[in-house]
Structures are given as structure tokens and as C-alpha cells.
Structure 1
Amino acid sequence: MSRTFYLKSVIGIFAIVFSSCQIKTEKQSVNILDSYQQKELKHAKGFELFTSGNDKVLRIYNSKSTDSTYQDFKLVKKKTAANEIQVPCKKIICLSSTQLTYFFALNDIDKIAATNSSRHLFHKGLNERIKQGKVKRVGKEGHFNTELIAGINPDLIFVSPYKTGGYDALKNLDIPLVPMAAYDEKTPLGRAEWVKMIAAFIGKENEADSLFEKLSVRYDSLKNLSKSVKKRPTVFSGKMRSGIWYVPGGKSFYANYFRDAGAKYIIEDDKQGAYPLDYETMYTKAADCDYWRILVPEPVGFGRKALIEQDGRYGDFKAYKTGNVIMCNIREKPYYEQNAMKPDVILADYIHYFHPNLLPDYKPQFYEVLK
């Protein structure tokens, strides 16, 4: 064993026990202490969880880094050091509506002390707690009410690693900032499995395990149903925004959804994220596609006429002409605060449109045909 490798291993172990700072290391090169047992995760790639008695170590990877940078957080039954988080937590701040879905699924919103905004929040229970003043609104990125946050004195703040600004002020409050990176998962079940990470903070591990197991069984059952289809309709996604069409890559989250629903996604590259295309390039690829999927934040009642008024060229696509534009309007449906924990429902929505004969009596919950 080289001296360099030995020192890296010692540093990695030291960090797990005594800190929650970022460490740069290869994902498999640092061993957890022998007294910790790793929790089995079936789909999620962005975090790992280790337990030892009542204590846990949560490791969250930074997928934006090329060298497997991660953060460790030590969760303990009784806090004895400043860098530990005592669980179950009593007060948590969520700075994105997409984080709330896991609390909703676990039927535990009492731990939520504040959110970033409730402007488009659908959940009746949380809206009522906000109205009663039990849940505060602390502002958005770059404009957080740090005095209010300090007054709440939460056990931790869930932050989004995809937002670029606004967290520097929060770092000075000496409150643990825990990245919620579920939306970087490339599969629907990968995102859903982050419920186990949330559960570790609120003492609902058993409920999360049971919930995810039932959800994944339903998802896999629907996925297997669509495998039997002989004809896979083609589908494309998105629309123009500020003159650019942002397209999910061929190995992206949405591409996996479409494939699991028995459709052929027209982008067949190896890219995992979204990237820009001009209209002409997109039209060349998607002009003759069978289906067009869009997610929009439009006024209630948005339909075919309103879509074509945004850009008359949309009418040239086959999917528009044949009435096969399927839309989820986030002003009307609680997509962002539910979708991560309802992949089976969204998959059923897609299958209902792509293969109507497979789920003839099903009523879609999120998507509808553009009227």
C-alpha cells in the first residue's frame, strides 16, 4: 500500500466520524468504519446511507463534479458535537417544492417549519399550516429572510444543488445545509428512492422502505406490461423557449420514462441532460413523430389555439395535426410537489396515451390531450 493511498483512506475515515465537510475521492476508494452497515439502495445513485446502532452517516454525491466529490452528514440520536444532526428532526426548512413531495408521501408535514414559497402550492394541509402561521415563507434564492430563518432555528435546511445563488448568506447561520439532489437521478425509481434519505431525518425509515417497495412493484408491473407491445410510437418533448428548444438527451430521465412506457424517443444520443437545439434542427427530427409531450406553466384552460399562437410553426408537426399533444399544466396539476413519488402514476399516464388498449379503463392524473 502506498503512503498516498494510506493517507487518503485515513482522511476519509476521519471525515466520516468527525465532520460533514466535502471530500474529493473516488466513490469506491474510502471504506466506511467497520461498525457501520450500508443500507441497500436499488435505484438511487446520488446518496448512500450507513447505520451503526442509532447513528447514521448520510453521504450525498455531487454529480456535477468529475471526481466524485461528496458530503457526509452524521445523524445521531443524541447530539454531542456541533457538526452532528440530532434525529428525528423537529424543525426542517425546505427551499424547493420538489422536496416537499417526500414529506407528503410519508404523511408527515409537521416537521416542515418553513418553505421558500407557497405561490403555486396545492397541498391543503400545508397551505392551512402556512395560513395559521405554523409554516413560514422565507423567500427565494438570493432574497432569503435570514433573520426569519435564524429565528426559526431549524435543525437543518434542505437546499437544491441546482440553484446557483443565494446560499452564501445561509452558510453564515451555522445551520446544516443538506443538498437534495434527487432530481439528478436518471430514472423515475431513482428519484423516488430518495424518500429513504428524507425518512432518515424524521424517523420514518420503515414507512419509507414499505412505501418505496410497493411503488416500485407497481412501476415494474406497468413497465413489463408495455414490453409486450409490437409497435412503439415515436415521441418528442418540450417546446421553444426564448428562441431555443431544450431537448432531453437520449439517456435522460424523460427518455427512460418514454422507453418504459413502450414508446420510442426520437433523440437517441448518449447525453443525460438537456441541451439546446434550434427550431429547424428539432423540426427535422420530430416533424413526423406520433406524440408530443409538453410540461407548461400556463393559465388555466391553455389549449391548442394558445399553443399555436405562441409559435405558428408548431402546427406543422404531425403530432399537433393529429391531436396527439399530451400536456401537463403545472398551474392546474400538482406535478412538482408530487411527481417524484408518483412515478407509477406518471408511467400509467404515458401508457394510457401511447397504448390505449393496455389500460382501457385508466383515467390519467397528470397529463391530458391538448384540447
Structure 2
Amino acid sequence: MKQRILLLFTVIALISCKREQKISSSDWTQISARTQFKEQDGNIELKTGNFTYNFKSNQTPFKKIILLNASMAGYISELGAENLIIGVSSPEYIYSEKIQSLLKEGKIQNVGSEQKYDIEKIISMKPDAVFTNYIASFDNAYQLLKNNGIQVVFLDEYMEQLPLEKTAYIKLFGEFFGKEKEADAKYSEIEKNYNDLKQLALKAKDKPVVLSNEMYGDVWYLPGGKTSVANYIKDANASYIMKDNKDEKSLTMSFEEVYAKSGGVQYWVNAGSHASKKEMLTINPFYGKLDVFSKGKIYTIAGKERKKANDFFESGAVRADLILKDYIKIFHPELLPEYQLTYMKELQ
């Protein structure tokens, strides 16, 4: 009898444990396989890459932040939270008109560049948090900030290769700024747009062959078959020349290697931000040997540029739907007859 009772308690305990684990795991908001967060009693726990953070209820929502990467400005702007920014590095690379206006008014300060941050200035500004991508060579700078009580948050959103997972970082910024509802609504809107566009792309009769990126020196950095570029091309119902590759990073190839794979290519996308085909040939005469150069169409990511700033890397980090829409317009113009390209631009 005692054994039966003990067995019963054991089973109940195991079921309870399983339930608790399930409830516990469901508390996490999953951004991607590498980034997740949860909020409990006003406290926020964040796991991103190799870093774990615990923010107490009295630390958030953040009121004063510093951005050390221009791409993160896209999330802030999408939430209408530009007034929370007190400092940025390399402001010349930020596209947002609102942020540029606040810089001119002195409400946002320049805190250096990716070559050298002004650590003393950052410390004196006493931000609630500094957001940046992790760069190992800046470890000493990060440590100095931490030693002076500055919270440094590493968010390597650029490493996400699924477009909507990169978009999903807006949920994390919403949590940090007390704008959870706005962030969730914006994500849901972009997600719906993206999935609707994927379905639209499937109606296309043709599936054109696509080449991407360009050469730097003697090396062509061709996106791997599992990169965000490859995923966009696939979702736009086109055939990327490296679609069978399994890499989530760029592949280094010679011109000859790319040339051997370029037969039948009809579209060349993400071809830098050149002004013309003539300029491309001036930089690299070998481009003229590609059939797509003379017979196909070439598109750059120069649709929204202002001096050194390119909105493709800023709002484009969030607006996966608009980037996909651009690719569909390029590969299947008949599906979006009234749409004008946002981030891309055809080279003449």
C-alpha cells in the first residue's frame, strides 16, 4: 500500500514538474534560435548569443540609450522612440531624418566612430543602456563602460538569416521601452505582409535565375545558400545560383568560379550601390564578360541613399516585407504593376 501511494506521489510530482517546465519555457518570447527573452514581475531576462542579461524592474523601461550601430536605429524609428536616443556613433551612416534632426538640435550626441568610441563622453552621459553589435577588438572599451556602471547590451541581429527573425528584434526593443503592444502590432503587420507576398510570388509563371553581390578586389563574396539574401530570393520565387549550398555566411570565390556558375542568370541583385554599368566596368572590367551584364537586368541597393547613409541597412533590417516586395517586383513585375521599388534601383 505504501509503495502504491509512493508511486502515485512520484507520478504526480513528475507530471507537475513537466507542467512547470512547459509553463516556464512558454514564458520565453523566442526571437530566433540565438535570442530569446522573458518578462516576469517587471524583470527582464535576455539570452542572446553567448550573453545573458537580467534587468530589474527599476532599470526598465529605458529612458536614455546610446546606439553604436546604425542598423539598430531602424527598430527605434519604427517604434517612434527616437527621443530616447541620447548618443550615436558614426552619425553620417544613419539615414533617419528624425535622428539627423535631433543631432542638429544637439539632443543626440556624436560619441565617436567604429574606429574609436569616445568612452569618457559615453560615461559622462550616463545612459541607461548602450546597444551594439559585439566586436572582439573593442573588449577593452566595453569593459571600461561596464566598470563605470554602464549597461552594454550586445544584439547581433545582423547574424539572423531568416528575414522575419531579424524583424522580430522589434519585440525586444518594445520590451525595453515599454512599447510592447506597439512592437507586437508592428511585427504582426510585417509578418502578415511578408507571408501574403510569399503567396503572391507563387503565382508567377517563371522562376528566373539570380546572381548576387559583387567583387571586392579579387574576391567575389557570394551569399551562401542559407543566408538572408538566399532566403529572400527563394521567398520571391526565384532560383538563386547557390540555392543548394548550406552555408549561412558569404562564400569567397574568384571571378572564374562565379563565371562558371553564371550561365542562364537573368537578374543580378545587390550589386553594391553603383551609379551606372559604366561605373561598374571602370571598377572591374571582368563584369562585362557576364551574360547578365549585357543581356539581363542589374539592381543595386541604392534606392534610399543619402550621402554615406543607406536605409537598406537601417529600416530594411526591420521591414522584411518591403525588401521581399522589391525582389518580387524585380523578378515578377507583372505581380506588382503599380509598386515602385523602395530599396533597390535598376542600373542603366
- Compute the TM-score of the two structures, normalised by the length of structure 1: 0.82
Does the CA contact (< 8 Å) of 2:44 and 2:56 recur in 1? yes
- Aligned pair 1:244/2:232, yes or no? no
Distance 2:89 2:252 in 1: 29
Candidates 174, 197, 200, aligned match of 1:199: 174
User: Residue 88 of structure 1: CA displacement?
Assistant: 0.6
Question: Aligned to 2:264, which of 288, 308, 311?
Answer: 288
Q: What is the number of residues matched between the two proteins?
A: 321
Structure 1 stretches lacking a partner, 5+ long: 1-30, 62-69, 79-85
Question: What is the rounded CA distance, in whole Å, between the counterparts of 2:88 and 2:205 in structure 1?
Answer: 47
Helix, strand or coil: the match of 1:281?
Answer: helix
Structure 2 gap ranges (5+): 1-19
Which residue does 1:265 correspond to in 2? Answer: 240
Going from structure 1 to structure 2, the CA distance change for 1:55 and 1:37 (only over 3 Å counts) comes to farther
Over residues 88-126 of structure 1, what are the superposed CA-to-partner deviations in whole Å (9 max), with x where a residue is unaligned? Answer: 111111101001100000011111111111113221211
| CA deviation after TM superposition for structure 1 residue 32, in Å | 7.9
Kindly indicate whether residue 127 of structure 2 is the aligned counterpart of residue 154 of structure 1: yes
Report SS of the residue matched to 1:199.
helix
Q: Are positions 1:118 and 2:106 aligned together?
A: no
Compute the displacement of 1:45 (Å).
Answer: 2.5
Cα-to-partner distance string for 1:146-200 (whole Å, 9 max, x where unaligned) = 1101111111111112x34224123122212111111111111010001111112
Residue aligned with 2:251, SS: strand
- 1:58-109 residue CA offsets vs partner (Å, 9 max, x unmatched): 1112xxxxxxxx322112222xxxxxxx001111111010011000000111
User: How much has 1:322 moved relative to structure 2?
Assistant: 2.2
Distance 1:236 1:311 in 2: 16
| Deviation of 1:297 (Å) | 4.5
C-alpha separation in 1, matches of 2:281 and 2:314? 28
Contact 2:131 2:152 (C-alpha < 8 Å) held by counterparts: yes
**Are 1:39 and 2:28 an aligned pair?**
yes
Alpha-carbon distance between aligned partners in 2 of 1:116 and 1:123, rounded to the nearest angstrom: 14
For residue 65 of structure 1, what is the aligned residue in structure 2? none
C-alpha distance in structure 1 between counterparts of 2:301 and 2:198, whole Å: 21
Indicate yes or no: 2:291 matched with 1:325: no
Distance, in Å, in 1 between the alignment partners of 2:158 and 2:270 is 18
Of the three residues 25, 31, 40, the one matched with 1:52 is 40
Q: Choose the corresponding residue for 2:143, options 171, 175, 187.
A: 171
Runs of 4+ more than 3 Å apart: 31-37, 330-333
CA separation of 1:295/1:313 partners in 2, compared to 1, >3 Å: closer, same or farther? closer
For the aligned residue pairs, the C-alpha RMSD in angstroms reads: 2.0
Q: Which of 73, 96, 107 matches 2:80? A: 107
- Pick from 335, 338, 346 the counterpart of residue 312 of structure 2: 335
3-state DSSP of counterpart to 1:110? helix
CA contact 1:141–1:165 (8 Å) conserved in 2: no
Change (3 A) 1:97 1:77: same
1:296 aligned counterpart, secondary structure = coil
For the residue of structure 1 that corresponds to 2:193, the secondary structure is helix
Cα deviation, residue 39, structure 1 = 3.5
Q: Distance in 2 between matches of 1:106 and 1:39?
A: 22
- Deviation (angstroms), 1:275: 1.8
Find the counterpart in structure 2 of residue 227 from structure 1.
Answer: 202
Deviation of the 1:36 alpha carbon: 8.2
Structure 1: distance between partners of 2:65 and 2:22: 28
Tell me how far 1:287 sits from its aligned partner.
Answer: 3.9
TM-score, reference length from structure 2: 0.87
Instruction: For 1:56, give the aligned amino acid.
Output: I
Structure 2 counterpart of 1:71, which letter?
Answer: F
Name which one, 1 or 2, has greater alpha-carbon Rg: 2
What are the Cα deviations for residues 238-277 of structure 1, in whole angstroms up to 9, with x where unaligned? 1110210001111111100000001000012111110210
Instruction: Render the CA deviation track for 1:199-244: whole Å, top value 9, x for unaligned.
Output: 1211111111010001100000000111233321000111110210
Q: Determine if contact 1:75/1:201 at 8 Å carries over to the other structure.
A: no
Paired position in structure 2 for 1:5? none
Relative contact order (alpha carbons < 8 A, sep ≥ 6): 1 or 2 greater? 2
CA contact (8 A) 2:266 2:296 kept: no
Inter-CA distance 51–37: structure 2 relative to 1 (3 Å threshold) = farther
| Aligned residue identity for 1:249 | G
Letter in 2 for 1:197: L
Q: Distance between the aligned counterparts of 2:261 and 2:80, measured in 1?
A: 43
Give 1:34 deviation, angstroms.
7.2
